[in-house]
Amino acid sequence: MEPTAAILFDLDGTLVDSGYLHTVCWWQALAQHDHRVPMARVHGALGLSGARLLDELLGPGRDRAADERIEAARTVLWARYSAVLQPFEAAAPLLRECLVRGWQVVLVSPAGPVGARELAVLGRALDGAELPVAAGEPGPGLLRSALALAGAAAEHSALVADTVWDARAAGLVGLPCVAVRSSGIAEQDLLAAGAAEVHPDVGALLAQLDDSLLARPRVFGQARR
């Protein structure tokens, strides 16, 4: 019996053009609570859960009393700006093509209002087609949940994502990561974090699908760059 193979597609910044909006919302929420964090540092923390992002930017030894207020401020800002969100033009065609090629496809989404908004945006692009969704706090645990939802093994599957933290989480699960640069993360940083290959965006990945790890469901050999 052939092993089940799945592609886990990160939603945030990979299928939906949200990476820079996340940066601005976190940066402004931090500023509202008197934390002057350079926007470049906020951008570099994309892909972390709220608590881990604040650890990365403010230090684990900080007074955590304001954490909930910072996250609440970020959610308010997100609600204000997220009406302009759009999926990347190639997102729906790429998902459909992967399904045609025999992959199981699972969407990986942050829990809560952020993920719900992005799922709604992508759902419109898919014309009502429904895909399984694993939602939760970003990290290895969420990827394991997504694999379990698909009934797939990590070594026969792949993650498509856009941040160094996604690539590192995939490595902890033994899951090859196909990275895209749609949130502005440098190619060398994604490769250093363990990405098997890097593409400019999902449109470029779709155009190069036959030459990628996602060409067809199979047992992966050595990762290519």
With 50 as the cut, is the pLDDT of residue 222 above it? no
CATH class assigned to 6-18+86-211 = alpha beta
DSSP code at position 61: T
Give buried/exposed letters for 124-137 (b at 16+ CB in 10 A, else e).
Answer: ebbeeeeeebbbbe
Q: Coil, helix or strand for 95?
A: helix
The yes-or-no answer to whether 6-18+86-211 and 19-84 have a common fold is: no
- What are the start-end ranges of the E strands in 25-85? none
With 90 as the cut, is the pLDDT of residue 212 above it? yes
How does pLDDT run across 67-85, given as a tens digit for each residue?
A: 999 999 999 998 888 888 8
What pLDDT shows up at residue 57?
95
Can you list the alpha helix ranges (DSSP code H) found in 33-112? 39-44, 50-58, 67-81, 91-100
With 70 as the cut, is the pLDDT of residue 30 above it? yes
Q: Options 1.10.645.10, 1.10.150.240, 1.10.3720.10, 3.80.10.10; which CATH number does 19-84 get? A: 1.10.150.240
How does pLDDT run across 89-143, given as a tens digit for each residue?
A: 999 999 999 999 999 999 998 877 777 878 887 877 776 568 899 998 889 999 9
Residue pair 143/108 in contact (Cβ under 8 Å)? The answer is: yes
Residue pair 198/177 in contact (Cβ under 8 Å)? The answer is: no
Per-domain boundaries in the chain: 6-18+86-211, 19-84
Would the pTM of this model clear 0.85, i.e. be above it?
yes
Question: What mean pLDDT comes out for the span 174-186?
Answer: 96
